[in-house]
Structure 1
Amino acid sequence: MRRFNSGLVGIDHGDVVMFSDFEDDGQMWRGEGPRQSRAPVTFKQCYAVPPHVQVSISMWDISNSSNIRADVQAENITTEGFEIVFRTWADTQVARLRVAWTSFGELPNDDGWELY
């Protein structure tokens, strides 16, 4: 469990279109084996410490000719943003993907003191 030291808690959210590879026969649509796509996200306001981030697939267009294999994660989380990482492998063909994200965490407190 994460405890917040501040009374100021922020929540931010959004949707990111990761790729649309069917339009140009990109690697997620025509490729095979391990593949990944990364998308940077910048928060609307900086957090005091790196927040908790949840990601989920909000839209996918996947071929029905092979098994569906997918992994989506938030990586490299900082006070300013993070990266969404989508991975697939083997013969899975992904035409398009959109990922929803939500972050929540402690915001800087203007009344707080920082001692150096």
Structure 2
Amino acid sequence: MRRFSGPIGIEQGSKILFSDYAHDGAMWTGSGPREVRHVQEFREHFVEPPMVTVGVSMWDIAHQTNSRVDITAENITARGFVIVFRTWADTRVARIRADWMAIGQARDEDDWDVA
């Protein structure tokens, strides 16, 4: 369990990662291991790296093959993180929307930084 002291910040968002069916992109026409990365910055920085969850909130996948999906948050910092979507084999993905939530220690309005 992670414990926080002081104010807690929660930020959430939604991002369409790609629409590969529109331009015959690799997720739609390719095969084998494929990956898409999206850098997501927080609107307001956390004090330290927050806890981040990512999930698929919309998917458009061809029904002729198995649906193989892996989505995760990587490189989490106080400023942001990377949403990583992967598929493999013959799965054909037209588009994906990812929803995410970050929870962590927020800066207090009384905090100040001498730089």
TM-score higher than 0.5 = yes
Tell me what 1:3 maps to: 3
Q: CA shift at 1:111, angstroms?
A: 3.8
Tell me what 2:43 maps to: 44
Q: Mean alpha-carbon deviation: is it higher for 102-111 or for 54-63?
A: 102-111
Q: CA shift at 1:44, angstroms?
A: 1.1
Structure 1 segments unaligned to the other structure (5+ residues): none
Secondary structure of the equivalent of 2:12? strand
| Cα deviation code 1:10-61 (max 9, x no counterpart) | 0000101100000110000000000000111111100001000010000000
Secondary structure of the equivalent of 2:27? helix
1:27-106 superposed matches below 5 A: 27-106=26-105
Please report the TM-score for the alignment, with normalisation by the length of structure 1. Answer: 0.93
Secondary structure of the equivalent of 2:102? strand
Q: Mean alpha-carbon deviation: is it higher for 105-114 or for 82-91?
A: 105-114
CA RMSD of aligned residues (A): 1.3
Number of residue-to-residue matches in the alignment: 113
